[in-house]
Chains A and B, each alone.
Chain A
Amino acid sequence: MKFSVFNGMPYGRVQTPGNRWPVPNKYFDAEQAKRAVANCLEEVVMEDELGFDWIACAEHHYSPFNLAPNVTVLASALTQHVKRAKIAILGALIPLTGNPVRIAEEFAMIDNLSGGRLVAGLLRGAPYEYMVYNVNPAESRSRFEEAWDLIIKAWTDTMPFGWEGQHFHYRHVSIWPRPLQQPTLPIYISGSSKESGEFAARKKVGLGLAFTTMAFAAEAARYYREQCAVNGWQPMPEQVIYQVPIHVDETDEKAREALRPLFAHAGTTTGGMVRANRLVATSGFFGKGDNKLVERFKDLTIDEPRTVEEAIERGTVICGGPKSVMAQVRRMHDEIGCGVLNLIFDRTGVPEKKRRSIELFAKEVMPEGHTL
């Protein structure tokens, strides 16, 4: 099994009245931002040296959770600090920008800057992100599929071409540089929905599962593998990624205590992002047959685990001392069939705890995890 560290350059906690989203940027502090950048770049070097397989980042908007609204800018920086691990963009939200060719160009450039170490996640995004650039959520699927086809064409077609689609129009495309990795990059999409699983299977690419429970992820992965068989191929284990927050400490009790404050208000908050997800999810974002997802996104707080123990049980977090963390990793591997865990280490909000957690995982869990 491979291990990826998600590092989206978190800014740190910002308390806003009413738990707003978008988070007003009047709370932005230049000194704190400098520290966030420095922390991120120091940590990725450490993670690389500790032997993590991938260093991952992702596009998110309008919040201090992740300072990478253009994820290729962050990934470019990572290529100059991370010398060994793959750089995984998990991912870029390709229906949102309105310019898929620019995404193809930037990814190709990052593959060149990294010496051919890019892992390419081309995602549709979470529902709330359709508010960011005012994109109609009912068009998200068709925009995604067209953008996807166009990006793959831009990476793989070696003669100039134009494109006339429902959403995107070009007269000339011929990107320089092309990706170093040939015939193409390792590609993933996100896939909680059935349509996503079918699409990934049809296009013979990997599937990333994030912001979900282990039960949902296992079902989505099972459906994806079933669809791969229908399309005449079998995915490699590392073509299924499960993303999960994690905290490792010396003992189970210390680890759980560190995360307990996160659950103090579980199920009672009604923040702006919850509302945004509800509004978009019920505006045609999900396709036919995905009623379970629509229901879930109507109020994500209902579905929130109330305790750290419940979160561990449902696989929405990994938490504990090294031994029990290894057991949780093994369970995810066995139940979901994932070959890559994309780990989010910054849930405590305390940089020192985060680094200790990363070190403990790398030294006391990862060696055995690599044998799975």
Chain B
Amino acid sequence: MSVEVYDKSVEIDGIWIPYREAGAGETIVFLHGAGGAPPVTASFVAMLGERHRVLVPSRPGFDGAAVGDCKTMLDVVAVMAAFIARVGDGKVHLVAQSAGGAIGAWLAILHPELVESLVLSAPAAFAHHRAPPAGVARPSPEEIEKRLYGDHPTWSAPPTEAERKRIAGNAMANMGRFSAPEGNSDLQARLGEITVPVLLIVATEDRMIPEAAMLPYQESIPSLIRIFIHGAAHEMPIAAATPWVKLVAEFVDRGEYFLVNSGT
């Protein structure tokens, strides 16, 4: 079944938020990582859209969206909450990739009335990024792409040069733009307030976010289920689209029954 993906936009608090929409069914809101919206050729949006309505909003500062009055991470969270209230059509399932993880977790803490469940996919909030030591070369763009997407990315075509520039530009422009306490300590202190079902997906070959950065979630959220995708690189929606979509869709559909073999 072929699912169309549509480009749309909506005004939220004076900011035009571009978003993609696909499919029909219970709503999944995909919160992107540091590179902004995934490459347009990525297959996972349409794959998820086979049984669900998928929304992929860009956040303030990304993909041409203005920053508006957003100065802190919580300001961005407020804009995303307003987006969900406007476009989401009721409670939604949040699927937060990498840098989107902090936004997703805050939404679950501050706006439980909007959130049915939360999937954290290689969340980055508690990774401590350091510059490479002196004398160690920064990885090339090709190496970074390999670390993100692995050897077998699932997309209809590799990103164009313009797409690569957009993604790199998003990451550069927004790194450290929205203030948060050192190490997201405020988020860590409140993770225990998350009451919705949480699935934490970890890539065994993640060379961007160390596994230790996932521990605060598991230690603080009793209902959390952690699962590894074997052999996957960091951007699992693209690096391991088939198992990733399977896990996300099953969790969204079955909630805590995700833990029980359904025979499929």
Contact = CB atoms under 8 A, between A and B. Distances in A.
Nearest to B228: A163
Given A149-B204, A159-B218, A164-B246, A172 B229 contact: no
A265 interface: no
Interface centre among A162, A165, A166 (most CB of B within 10 A): A162
Contact of B226 (A149, A162, A166, A168): A162
Nearest to A168: B230
A69 to B, nearest CB: 27
Contacts of A159: 215, 218-219, 226
Contacts of B230: 146, 149-150, 163-166, 168
B158 interface: no
B55 to A, nearest CB: 25
Nearest to B218: A159
A292 interface: no
A164 B226 contact: no
B189 interface: no
Given A149-B204, A172-B259, A163 B227 contact: yes
A72 B104 CA distance: 45
A28 interface: no
B96 to A, nearest CB: 18
Contacts, number: 43
Contacts of A161: 202, 226-228
A140 to B, nearest CB: 16
What does DSSP make chain A's interface, helix, strand, loop or mixed? mixed
A289 interface: no
B218 A164 contact: no
B225 A162 contact: yes
Interface residues of B, number: 19
B252 to A, nearest CB: 15
B185 to A, nearest CB: 21
A171 B227 CA distance: 7
Contacts of B226: 159-162
A160 B247 CA distance: 17
A153 B230 CA distance: 11
A164 B243 contact: yes
Contacts of B215: 159
A166 B230 CA distance: 7
A150 B227 CA distance: 12
Interface centre among B219, B230, B231 (most CB of A within 10 A): B230
Contacts of A160: 226
What does DSSP make chain B's interface, helix, strand, loop or mixed? mixed
Nearest to B205: A149
A162 B218 contact: no
Interface string B226-257: 11111100000000000100110000000000
Contact of B258 (A150, A166, A168, A171): A171
Contacts of B218: 159
Given A149-B204, A171-B258, A171-B259, A166 B231 contact: yes
Interface in B191-238: 202, 204, 215, 218-219, 225-231
A146 to B, nearest CB: 5
A160 B219 CA distance: 11
B258 A164 contact: no
A165 B231 contact: yes
A171 B262 CA distance: 12
B177 to A, nearest CB: 33
Contacts of A146: 230-231
A149 B260 CA distance: 23
Given A159-B218, A164-B246, A164-B247, A153 B228 contact: yes
A51 B243 CA distance: 51
Nearest to A162: B227
A161 B219 CA distance: 12
B228 A164 contact: yes
A159 to B, nearest CB: 5
Contacts of B202: 161
Contacts of A165: 229-231, 243
Contact of A164 (B219, B229, B259): B229
Nearest to A167: B230
B231 A162 contact: no
B12 to A, nearest CB: 35
B261 to A, nearest CB: 8
Interface in A114-168: 146, 149-150, 153, 159-166, 168
Closest 8 CB pairs of A and B: A162-B227, A165-B230, A171-B259, A164-B243, A161-B226, A164-B229, A159-B218, A163-B228
16 contacts: A146-B230, A150-B230, A159-B218, A159-B219, A161-B226, A162-B225, A162-B228, A163-B228, A163-B230, A164-B246, A165-B229, A165-B231, A171-B225, A171-B227, A171-B260, A172-B259
Given A161-B202, A163-B227, A171-B225, 13 more contacts: A149-B204, A149-B230, A150-B230, A160-B226, A161-B228, A162-B227, A165-B229, A165-B230, A165-B231, A168-B230, A171-B258, A171-B259, A171-B261
Interface of A: 146, 149-150, 153, 159-166, 168, 171-172
